[in-house]
Structure 1
Amino acid sequence: MNAKDTSTGTEILIDASRLHALVSALWEQAGSEPTEARLVADHLVQANLSGHDSHGVGMIPRYLRSLQDGELKLNMHARIARDAGAVLTVEGGRGFGQVVAHEAMQAGIARAGQLGICAVGLRNAHHIGRIGHWAEQCAQAGMVSFHFVNVAGDPLVAAFGGIDARIGTNPFCAAFPRAGKPPLVLDFATSRIAFGKTRVAYNKGHQVPPDSLIDHTGQPSNEPRVVHEDPRGSLLPFGGHKGYGMAAMCEIFAGALSGGFTTHDGTLMTNSAIINCMMSVIVSPTAFDAPDAEGEADAFIAWLKASRRAQGVDEVLLPGEPELARRAERSAHGTPVDKATWKQISDTARAVGMTDARIGELAGVAAG
């Protein structure tokens, strides 16, 4: 077993290609067609490689629970519910978000290539994961994009000035492609911490950063258990009223405009499903009268990089650069999976009929 000691126990290091093989095999065993299983594995493993363990393979147990609840639908594909030229409404049918969002972005990229711009409203997708993945898909096609997402019917974040959870973690993402260079990718939850990061901390026995959570009485807490054990507290929006306001607009743009749904008394989820709606605007840079857009962007980037640095800071980083560095590191040395998460994944693999020997053969480490 390839492992390293941490302050709270052991993290298992798994080669990314082996982890991908395990995830693909697990979902094929559960009933996914090979292409679906591969797309899910592509997305989850890339999230781990990028350092976003909250949106990576640790989501597998919840996905299976959602499948067992009858919410996640295997082998579904994106369906164009309405084609209005530069505006596409896409129905996800609660299929794997890693599939239906991929297909929705493909449709939007193709239409933006024809018209210069396309707004895509994706509704009723099961968890679409790390939103940066979809912006990167657009950037790989040479497209600028920005994305508003809601986590429909799953309130986790308190409104500014409130105590009760009323809003999802509702991420925002934007990307700018650069020829021959990695794109700029800004991707963040509108909560101070992603809920999945509290799950990772909870599994590891770690605290979360200060001012991220409140307990059910409204008191600040650094303990992730306050949002994972009853009575449950809430996450806080980032930036006070500013993050709260952005989260509210993500809810409206994604949930209402797409024809999906927003979070309120009549839509609260009572099972393990995670339902996302996303409103994406995809734009071809060549549609603008901006012959030197990339040159201007590069000049601005150089200006940022030349800044005097604060004490202890080695480099001024661009949006997306921390993820690139983490991918290089984890690709070379292995992807860490904490013991609790590895046990949960192993239990899930067993639940769909995989043996411990098969798990170990694929992952290169013993089942948890």
Structure 2
Amino acid sequence: MPIVMADRATVIADTLLQCAGASAHEAEVVARHCIGANLAGHDSHGIIQIPVYIDRVKKGHIVPGAPIDIVQESPTTTVIDGNWGFGYVVSEHAMNLTIEKARKSNVAACTVFRQSHVGRVADYPLMAAKAGMIAIMTADSGRAPKQVAPFGGREPRLGTNPISVAVPSELEGPLFIDMATSAAAAGKLKVAAARGTPIPAGWLLDKDGRQTTDPRALGQGGVLLPLGGSEGYKGYGLSAIVEILSGILPGLGFGVEPTGKHNDGCFMAVFNVEAFRPLATFKREVTEFAEYLKATPTDADTKQVLYPGEVEHNRATQRGSEGLDIEDKTWAELKGLADGYGVTERLGMQG
């Protein structure tokens, strides 16, 4: 697989998006989030998505330059219609607006509908954590054809329905969770299929309802299982709540979008820490709590205990210096786009 430095990957993603019709601002936002996902080790939401987004632009499923409309608002709440714009741009705008409302009113919430894929959900609560606030965000994974079965079922009724929470601290890397409520994000299967590697047992059923480790089975009538294995009713329950917060509450609905457009609905809430405790004291105690967790004696198979979010920080540090592994299939797709737009030489992708 080609190894590409993050700065170069960002330029490639940004350039191709602009060639496809994105504005300079839209391309910068989407490229930054995608390469940030690669750096954090979430390749399923990284540069592998750029050809997908460009294809959706060509089909009219993503509308470059779409207006971001406020449908309804109060001093503490906002309902936003993204008008099929780039989800990264819409959700970044929505989180900034929610942070500003929380500065004034201490607590604020927002719902978003009719936007394209928002990528790695943690990116948005982390914006609030940097501003000294606690944030939660849920996403309904888009009303594209569903991929996750309810607990005990063998037909898809839900998306991967992620949830993320981030808090401010004094740690070198941020403390947060970002998790699908399915056994795995569908994008992880896409990466595994592109790299020709098997997936763990317990993630996927094939079209006949049998467990499989072949990631290609998802695209052949298979279905993802909810998080939790034999305790999957817990992941299923979380997924249903995420669907209500991110789909039904914004007015997006549930099930499959009739137009076939990928349609991420989101719910986000922000809490100003200063409304509860002095921020400096809170950040210090969160840091001490993380250190307390890390000091736990380890089991026989674990080298060290990490606080939530530390693994992504460590990966970003490593990949920032060593570069990103881009699977051959993805590189070929990117090069094909560059050839088509006549920017192969400018991007140094001739080889």
Tell me if both proteins adopt one fold, taking TM over 0.5 as the criterion. Answer: yes
- Secondary structure of the 2:34 match is helix
Aligned to 2:138: 148
* 1:176-255 to 2 correspondences below 5 Å: 176-179=167-170, 181-228=172-219, 230=220, 232-239=221-228, 240-255=232-247
**Matches of 1:26 and 1:287 in 2, distance apart?**
44
* 1:186-335 to 2 correspondences below 5 Å: 186-228=177-219, 230=220, 232-239=221-228, 240-263=232-255, 267-268=257-258, 270=260, 273-289=261-277, 292-335=281-324
Is the CA contact (8 Å cut-off) linking 1:176 and 1:185 kept in structure 2?
A: yes
The superposition leaves residues 270-292 of structure 1 with CA deviations (integer Å, 9 ceiling, x where unpaired) of 4xx42211101111100114674
Report which stretch shifted further, 309-318 or 46-55. 309-318
Question: CA shift at 1:366, angstroms?
Answer: 3.8
Question: CA shift at 1:299, angstroms?
Answer: 3.4
**Matches of 1:66 and 1:46 in 2, distance apart?**
21
Seen in structure 2, the aligned counterparts of structure 1 residues 317 and 77 have a Cα distance that, compared at 3 Å, is farther
Aligned to 1:34: 24
From 97, 104, 107, the equivalent of 1:117 is 107
Is the CA contact (8 Å cut-off) linking 1:145 and 1:283 kept in structure 2?
A: yes
Report which stretch shifted further, 148-157 or 162-171. 148-157
Question: CA shift at 1:302, angstroms?
Answer: 2.6
The superposition leaves residues 299-352 of structure 1 with CA deviations (integer Å, 9 ceiling, x where unpaired) of 32232112110113221111111111111111101111010111122223334x
**Matches of 1:344 and 1:338 in 2, distance apart?**
10
Is the CA contact (8 Å cut-off) linking 2:149 and 2:156 kept in structure 1?
A: yes
Considering fraction of residues, name the structure with more strand.
Answer: 1
Aligned to 1:8: none
The superposition leaves residues 1-54 of structure 1 with CA deviations (integer Å, 9 ceiling, x where unpaired) of xxxxxxxxxx11001111111111111111111111111110011000110000
**Matches of 1:349 and 1:76 in 2, distance apart?**
25
Q: List alignment gaps of at least 5 residues for structure 2.
A: none
Question: CA shift at 1:152, angstroms?
Answer: 3.2
Question: Structure 1 length as normaliser, TM-score?
Answer: 0.90
Question: Structure 2 length as normaliser, TM-score?
Answer: 0.94
Report which stretch shifted further, 237-246 or 179-188. 179-188
Instruction: Count residues in correspondence.
Output: 346
**Matches of 2:239 and 2:165 in 1, distance apart?**
15
- Secondary structure of the 2:2 match is strand
Is the CA contact (8 Å cut-off) linking 1:150 and 1:250 kept in structure 2?
A: yes
Q: List alignment gaps of at least 5 residues for structure 1.
A: 1-10
- Secondary structure of the 1:237 match is coil
Is the CA contact (8 Å cut-off) linking 1:153 and 1:269 kept in structure 2?
A: no
- Secondary structure of the 1:248 match is helix
Seen in structure 2, the aligned counterparts of structure 1 residues 357 and 290 have a Cα distance that, compared at 3 Å, is closer
Seen in structure 2, the aligned counterparts of structure 1 residues 38 and 141 have a Cα distance that, compared at 3 Å, is same
Report which stretch shifted further, 46-55 or 60-69. 60-69
- Are positions 1:127 and 2:134 aligned together? no
Aligned to 2:129: 139
**Matches of 2:128 and 2:226 in 1, distance apart?**
28
- Secondary structure of the 1:158 match is coil
* 1:42-121 to 2 correspondences below 5 Å: 42-121=32-111
- Are positions 1:13 and 2:11 aligned together? no
In structure 2, give the amino acid aligned to 1:308. P
- Secondary structure of the 1:73 match is coil
**Matches of 2:202 and 2:171 in 1, distance apart?**
40
Is the CA contact (8 Å cut-off) linking 2:9 and 2:35 kept in structure 1?
A: yes
Aligned to 2:166: 175
In structure 1, give the amino acid aligned to 2:249. L
Report which stretch shifted further, 207-216 or 25-34. 25-34
Identical-residue share of aligned pairs (%): 32
Is the CA contact (8 Å cut-off) linking 2:4 and 2:323 kept in structure 1?
A: yes
**Matches of 2:117 and 2:159 in 1, distance apart?**
12
- Are positions 1:158 and 2:145 aligned together? no
Is the CA contact (8 Å cut-off) linking 2:175 and 2:308 kept in structure 1?
A: yes
RMSD of aligned alpha carbons: 1.6
- Secondary structure of the 1:319 match is coil
- Secondary structure of the 1:207 match is coil
The superposition leaves residues 96-142 of structure 1 with CA deviations (integer Å, 9 ceiling, x where unpaired) of 01111110111001101110011111111100000011111111212
